[in-house]
Structure 1
């Protein structure tokens, strides 16, 4: 058994020595090939670019801060860009808000804008376009599933110069700006106040003193009355009743004595 083990060890050592030059030769061949040279040059270029970027940021921190801020803002706008489903959800929410109000209270501008958007949505004419940092919602002439000749013919499609007129809303930074601006005073019907004088149509916000006074009075109205205040009130009421009771029976007594 011992000679057999010695022979196996000798054979394994010889095989390892023979395989080592072969492996090293293959690695050298791969490094010196065209693909290896291209990969090494690409890695060296990226390494040099990263080094120059770090050195430039260290030498010009203000410029580097501006670039990083712009890139971070662009990335934030891209991540928070609303999509078509968010527009439909916002439209349905605004429609429900107006539906909870009486027609006499709704703002005509808000109601008309939301109703027109809902009508276009029901007709399937709302389209969504993503422009990277922002989104656009515009109206089309026909539903995408329509099989009419006018809807399918490319020569009769919407010309590009009419696109700005068809834009209905702009989505940026997680908001739909046109829809939000139309819904700012959706519960104020301006038609109710158009017959009032000009000085009554314009309202000014209250001053700081008036706001503080109203808040103080509101807080005081919730305070419980103390015993002293209740006693004072009862004493005042009793005194008033005594005065009335004293004054009222004197006149009839005097009249009776005079008659007698």
Structure 2
């Protein structure tokens, strides 16, 4: 009722103004002098003044303007590189293939268990993706949305927001899934193989320069033929004959 009264009042006022003072001129001038044209003209002036103030402020305070531009550019980059649900499933499949190339004896238990869990949830259709603009979250639900169960179709039984933090599987930011990348660190090292070793042998120290040179020398020597006593005697005899022949040639 109030909206209709305001509309009738505006129409009656417009008709009264048009009857009292008819506007002459072209159609563009009548549109420009109308209420709608005056409103657009005022809005354009406001935007023009705001842009002018932005340019003047950036010129007077370049450091502050540079910080704001950097923040805006960083936020835009994060939004543009924010990963989606399809990229998460692709990453899970790629990591599963990487682990599949290794035997179970040398796989990392942490990496294998986490990837197997994600693959199982993906096959069951329970993975969910939530985009927050610059950051994405991947969590798991209780049921597949395509299931015909009442619990899966009822919206009142969906995952409550207060339990979302307990269901989060990974965090996507800047084009990467950080938890999955952290779990896949040293995925080809099985720590269970070394748990029975003494502490002195389980702890490794990076070799120094002399240790590296010694290892390289031993590696080169491993490719050389084995030397026996018989071979050494033959080499000495051959060296002696060559030396004697050289002396004879020099004497003649």
Query: Shorter-chain TM-score: what band?
Result: 0.7 to 0.9
Match of 1:248 in 2: none
Tell me, what secondary structure is at the counterpart of 1:162?
Answer: helix
Q: Give the distance between the partners of 1:53 and 1:36, measured in 2 at CA.
A: 26
Match of 1:120 in 2: 121
Check 1:23–1:34 CA distance in 2 against 1; reply closer, same or farther (3 A cut): closer
Match of 2:207 in 1: 206
Match of 1:167 in 2: 168
Unmatched segments (≥5 aa) in structure 1: 1-21, 222-235, 246-260
Q: Give the distance between the partners of 2:43 and 2:212, measured in 1 at CA.
A: 69
Tell me, what secondary structure is at the counterpart of 1:186?
Answer: coil
Q: Which runs of 4+ in 1 moved over 4 A?
A: 210-215, 236-239, 242-245
Check 1:243–1:62 CA distance in 2 against 1; reply closer, same or farther (3 A cut): closer
1:16-52 deviation per Cα after TM superposition (whole angstroms, max 9, x unaligned) = xxxxxx9953222111101111111111111101100
Determine if contact 2:24/2:30 at 8 Å carries over to the other structure. no
Determine if contact 2:126/2:140 at 8 Å carries over to the other structure. yes
Match of 1:3 in 2: none
Q: C-alpha displacement at 1:201, in angstroms?
A: 1.6
Tell me, what secondary structure is at the counterpart of 1:86?
Answer: helix
Within 5 A, what are the aligned runs for 1:6-17? none
Whether 1:43 aligns to 2:22 is no
Q: Give the distance between the partners of 2:81 and 2:239, measured in 1 at CA.
A: 76
Give the structure with higher Rg (CA).
Answer: 1
Q: Give the distance between the partners of 2:65 and 2:100, measured in 1 at CA.
A: 51
Match of 2:83 in 1: 82
Q: Give the distance between the partners of 1:68 and 1:198, measured in 2 at CA.
A: 53
Q: Give the distance between the partners of 1:206 and 1:23, measured in 2 at CA.
A: 94
Whether 1:241 aligns to 2:229 is no
Q: C-alpha displacement at 1:213, in angstroms?
A: 4.2
Check 1:134–1:238 CA distance in 2 against 1; reply closer, same or farther (3 A cut): same
Q: Give the distance between the partners of 2:238 and 2:147, measured in 1 at CA.
A: 90
Q: Give the distance between the partners of 1:152 and 1:27, measured in 2 at CA.
A: 57
Could you state the TM-score of these two structures normalised by the residue count of structure 1? 0.73
Check 1:24–1:210 CA distance in 2 against 1; reply closer, same or farther (3 A cut): farther
Tell me, what secondary structure is at the counterpart of 1:169?
Answer: strand
Check 1:210–1:78 CA distance in 2 against 1; reply closer, same or farther (3 A cut): farther
**How many residues align structurally?**
206
Check 1:242–1:66 CA distance in 2 against 1; reply closer, same or farther (3 A cut): closer
Unmatched segments (≥5 aa) in structure 2: 1-22, 221-231, 242-252
Q: C-alpha displacement at 1:238, in angstroms?
A: 5.9
